[in-house]
Every structure is written in structure tokens, then in C-alpha cells.
Amino acid sequence: MMNHPEACTTLTRMEARLHETRHNLVELERSLRDRAEEKAISSRPKMRRYNRRMSNWTGKDEEAYLQILDQLTDAAASDLDRLRRKIERQDAAIVALRQKYRVNAARPIFTPL
């Protein structure tokens, strides 16, 4: 059985690992969005350039982007699910340890970089 300072140290390490796992999930989702955008841009070349203030992104481009993003997300579904389950397990373990050792300190808030 741990004493209170050891529990606090363990919780700090666990929170750091949880932050790292959440960061990995955010990075994976961001990379999928970036790849989908690159593929959508390369699959639909533009015939002309518009005014500087106007967007070259059309409704068809958005449809192609969403379709490509769905395909990439389906391909990476196992990795996304694995990371989400890991986050749930880590969060549950942190809550259980906090309850067991009655640690009332505020939990750090996750902010993606």
C-alpha cells in the first residue's frame, strides 16, 4: 500500500502518460485531416485562379475532402479505437487511484499543442 506522497507522485506520472496518449490521438486525427486535404487538392486541379480574397475551395472540393477523410478514417479506425480505449482505461485508473487515496488536487486540463 502506498502512502499519500507516493500516490501523488504516481498520479503525476499517470497524468503525464494520459496527456501523452491524448496528444497522440490529436496528432493522428490531424495527420488524417492533412492527408485528406492534400489528396482532395491534388485530385481536383483548378482551371483558373480567383481573386486573392476569394477562396478556391468549392463545394465539390469539400465533398471530395469529406469522402477521402472518411476513407482514411475507416482505414485507421483500429488505431483510433485503440487510442480511445487506452485513454478511457488510463482515465478510469486515475479516478480509481484518486478515490482510493483521497487525492483532491485539481486534475490538469488537456490542451492540445
64 vs 112, residue with greater confidence: 64
Task: Please report the pLDDT score of residue 103 as a whole number.
Answer: 87
pLDDT in tens, 25-65: 999 999 999 999 999 988 887 776 667 677 788 889 999 99
- Return the percentage of the chain with pLDDT > 90, whole number: 65
| CA–CA distance, 49 with 69 (Å, rounded to integer) | 25
Segment among 3-12, 14-23, 32-41 with least mean pLDDT: 3-12
Q: What's the pLDDT at 71? A: 97
Exposure on the CB side of residue 89, measured as CA atoms within 13 A: 8
